Every structure is written in structure tokens, then in C-alpha cells.
Structure 1
Amino acid sequence: MTFGLRDRAVVVTGGSKGFGRIVARRLAAEGCAVALCARSAETLAATAREIEAEYGTRVFARSCDVTVPDELGAFVDAAAEALGGLDGLVTNAGDAFGGGLMDSTPEEWTRTFELNVGHSAHAIRTCVPHMRARGRGDVVIVSSISGWKPGRNTQYGAAKAAEIYMASTLARELAADRIRVNTVSPGSMLIPGGGWDEFRQREPERYERFLGEFPGGALPSGEDVAEVVAFLLSDHARAVNGANIPVDAAQNAPAASGY
């Protein structure tokens, strides 16, 4: 299925590997031009070449640290210039730092929030003028079911909850500019070479027990979630704004260790 995104230009942060790469490929399959950023210049260049060769679409790629506002802003502005404007944004970059409350430092909490919430906010802020020039825009923040299903990493869950709240408020703030803001919240995704794939190979018995958290007995794939991202960026979702869409196959606990 296609969603009518051909010729749109979309930024994907953290787009060189994992779920970000899957999203970029899905959008390229739609005929989108994509702008990708990540820390690793080598991996980023390889992904850009792969997408250009397979889909024949324009790809702008630049290495940057998304937690440094000047770097992120320069990337967004350069992407808009290279692609002739911007229509969409997917803020995918994210991670967690530190362990439990007593095993984490204030710096790790700050770093977790800067990477998840801070980078998303600044990316949106920088994209808004380019979207206004288009007369519209669509934003998808990649959050997580950890934003409301309690897990063991409090700082990550709190940051993801903040992203969901941010989308609900920015949807109202930016509605006059015809810019929609939504979140998609994946559960545990089975991505080749990803963390859950490695866990499956390393600890197959624990993985089989973990499947009990899914009523259907299987983790969603990255492609399953990317399909929802593409939908949210499209006119098919024109009345969806400020929403949080879980894509988790009705997952219970968000981690193999339970709650």
C-alpha cells in the first residue's frame, strides 16, 4: 500500500541504522526524498548509498550530534536547501543512559532527556519555518510504550512520556500553520541485528518466555511500525493530530524482566 507521499521531503533523525533506517527505506519506497542524520558518518553514507541505489530517490545525509542544537539546526537547514524544502519530520533518535534510580547519576538523567525530548523539540522548532514556507507540515515523534507502561528504566520512560505530552500540546500550538504533530509508540520490535534479535539468539529460553507478553505470540517488526509512521505523515491521517499511536501487538510488560 502507498500513502501518496511521492515527492515529499522528510527528515529522519537517527536514520542510519535500526528503526530509523527502516523508516527511511519505507519513505523512499513511497517516492520521498529523505534527509538522514546520525553520529556515524560511515554508516550514514552506506545507508544513503543503499537507498539511492534501490529506490532512485534523493538522499541528503550528514553526520551530527542531535543533542547539540547548532549542529542539529544546521543539518535541518542544509537538508531543506538540498531538497528544495521540507514537508515532514520523524524524530527517531533516542536512547537511555544509566540504570535504576540509585545506580544512575543526575547527568545520565539529563543526557536521556536531552537526547529524546530535547532533540525532538529542537528539530521541530528548526523545521517549522521550512514547513510554513510549504504551507503545511507533518511531524512524527517516535516515542515508546515505556512512556506509560512501567519498566525498570525510569528516566527513559519519563522522557518518552514527555514526548507524548509534547506532541499533544504542539499539535495545538502549530495547528494554525497546518502542521500536525503525532507520536508513534513502538513496543519491542524484532529488527534483524537489533537488541531483541540478539537477545533471541543469546538467550532463546528467556526469549520464548518473553513472547508470553504478546497475546499473538510474536513481536512486531520494524516494518510494521514504519507503516504507521508513513500513514501519519500522509493525508490519509489529515484528521489525526496530537495523537499517540501504540504499535506493540498488545504487549504487556515492556521488558523481558517484567515490571
Structure 2
Amino acid sequence: MDLKLRGKVAVLTGASVGIGLAVAEGLATEGVNLVLAARQEARLAGAAHEIAAKHGVKTVPIACDVATSAGVDALVRGALEAFGGADILFNNAGTGSNETIMTAPDEKWQAYWDLHVMAAVRLARGLAPGMKARGGGVILHNASICAVQPLGYEPIYNVTKAALMMFSKNLANELVGDNIRVNTINPGLVLTPDWIKTAKQLSAEDGGDWEGYLQRVADEHAPIRRFATPEELADFIVFLCSPRASYSVGATYFVDGGMLRTV
């Protein structure tokens, strides 16, 4: 199926590893030029070079912290300088947390708010006007199943991802008249390097069977009894970025292997 994406420009955050990198690869396969953002400059530059060489698209790496207004400004400026703006924005930067509400300091709440919510707000303000001028566009937010079905050990993650989902719905209503479609993705278990790192840490005292640990997590939470690959999630996201999904507006899509326990 031709997704009609060739020649478009996409801005992706958290793009050097995991889901962000898989989505970058998926979009590049469809001929999309990329502005890739992440904090680790060397890893980001390597990923950008490899994607460009493999798929023949233009990739622009911008090392920045989108949890800050300065980082967002640098990313928006880079997209404008390289391509005159963007047609697609994938807000993906984020990370899990581990705390209790009673003991977590204000600073931790603020840091996750800036990363999961304000980055999306600022990037929308920075890129949506240019999308409108180009005739329209797509904004996707990578939230989490935890936005509606929280895991007990990460209340800050749960709350900020829920806020991101609500922001996405409001943004969709505001921008639909400009031919900009906004949607949210709520993944379940996805086998990212962060999950593997956590599994190795938590299984170290029990013999180091990190794969067994992850299988137990999947058995407990996902009826499909396995983690998704980042590429499986990326396939769905790339489709939503395309004109083939032209009637999808203001929606939240669960890609979770059956993990959601309600309708």
C-alpha cells in the first residue's frame, strides 16, 4: 500500500533509540525526510547517518532537551532552517518513573510535567503554524496505557501521561480546522532498551534471568503473553501519519496486546 508520504518532513523526539528510532526507520522507508531529536548527540548522529544511507532520505539530527523551552526552540528552528517546517510531529520523548506520591519531591513532578506535557505544548505552538501554511499536517503523541490503567509504582508517569492524552484531545479540536490531525497512541508492553535495562537490574540478585523476568511481566499483564517489538508499534504509527488515516482525528489508540482491562 502506498501511504502517500514520500517527500514529507517529520520531526521526532526521543528518536535515537527504541520506539522513536523504529518510527524514524518506518517513516524513512516511506520516503519521509526526518528531523531527529534526542539528548545524546553521538548516538543521535549515528542513527541519523545510518537511516539516511539506508533509505536515501535527508536526516537532520538536533541534540537537545525538549523538556526545556530552549531545547524546543532549537528543534523548531532546526526544522525551519532545514525544510521550512514540518508535515508530521511525533512527540515521543519520555521515560518511566519510580516513586510514591507521599515521598516524591515537587522537583520530580515538575521534571516529568515538562518532559511529557510541556514539550508537546511547546512543539505544537512552534510547528503547527507552519503545518497550516503547508496545507495541513499530523501530530501524534506517544502516551501510554498507564494514562488510563496505572501501574502502582510510577504515579508521576501515570499522571503526566494522562495529562498528555487530554492535551492531545484538546489540541485535536483546536487544530482540526487547519487540516492538522492530532491523535494519541497508548502502547502497552514494548521491548525497548529501557525495559531490558530494568529487567537486568531487577533480576540480578535472582540469577540474572532477565528474559524470564520480562516473560513473567508479559504473562501477568498482556493476554498476548509477550512484549511488542518497537517495529510493530511503528507500523501502526506510520499509518496514522499518512493520508490513509485521514478520518482519524482526536482519537486514542491502544496498541497493547489486550492489556487494557476495559472496553
TM-score, normalised relative to structure 1: 0.91
Quick check: 2:22–2:230 contact (8 Å CA) kept in 1? yes
The residue identity in structure 2 corresponding to 1:208 is Q
Q: Is the aligned partner of 1:137 residue 2:137?
A: yes
**What is the SS of the residue equivalent to 2:102?**
helix
Match of 2:239 among 231, 240, 252: 231
Q: 1:68 to 1:198 in 2, by over 3 A?
A: closer
Find the aligned partners of 1:70 and 1:216 in 2 and give their Cα distance: 42
Q: Which residue of 1 aligns with 2:42?
A: 42
**Is 51-60 or 83-92 further displaced after alignment?**
83-92
Deviation of 1:197 after TM superposition, in Å, equals 7.1
The residue identity in structure 2 corresponding to 1:57 is V
Q: Which residue of 2 aligns with 1:246?
A: 254
Match of 2:215 among 208, 212, 225: 208
Unaligned 5+ segments in structure 2 are: 201-207
Quick check: 2:144–2:186 contact (8 Å CA) kept in 1? yes
The residue identity in structure 2 corresponding to 1:103 is T
**Is 173-182 or 193-202 further displaced after alignment?**
193-202
**What is the SS of the residue equivalent to 1:101?**
coil
Unaligned 5+ segments in structure 1 are: 254-259
Q: CA RMSD in A?
A: 1.8
Deviation of 1:128 after TM superposition, in Å, equals 1.0
Quick check: 1:51–1:59 contact (8 Å CA) kept in 2? yes
The residue identity in structure 1 corresponding to 2:156 is Q
**What is the SS of the residue equivalent to 2:253?**
strand
Deviation of 1:167 after TM superposition, in Å, equals 1.1
Quick check: 1:97–1:111 contact (8 Å CA) kept in 2? no
TM-score, normalised relative to structure 2: 0.90
Q: Which residue of 1 aligns with 2:64?
A: 64
Find the aligned partners of 1:59 and 1:104 in 2 and give their Cα distance: 39
Find the aligned partners of 1:132 and 1:39 in 2 and give their Cα distance: 28
Task: Deviation per CA, 1:186-222: give whole Å up to 9, x if none.
Answer: 111024x442476276434433322222222221111
Find the aligned partners of 2:260 and 2:196 in 1 and give their Cα distance: 16
Find the aligned partners of 2:67 and 2:150 in 1 and give their Cα distance: 26
Task: Deviation per CA, 1:14-64: give whole Å up to 9, x if none.
Answer: 111121111111110110000011111111110111101111100011111
What does 1:1-259 correspond to in 2, within 5 Å?
Answer: 1-152=1-152, 153-191=154-192, 193-196=193-196, 199=199, 202-212=209-219, 213-251=221-259
Quick check: 1:48–1:60 contact (8 Å CA) kept in 2? yes
Identity across aligned pairs (percent)?
Answer: 33
Quick check: 2:60–2:82 contact (8 Å CA) kept in 1? yes
**Is 232-241 or 205-214 further displaced after alignment?**
205-214
**What is the SS of the residue equivalent to 1:95?**
coil
The count of corresponding residues between Structure 1 and Structure 2 is 252
**Is 87-96 or 213-222 further displaced after alignment?**
213-222
**Is 200-209 or 217-226 further displaced after alignment?**
200-209
**Is 96-105 or 67-76 further displaced after alignment?**
96-105
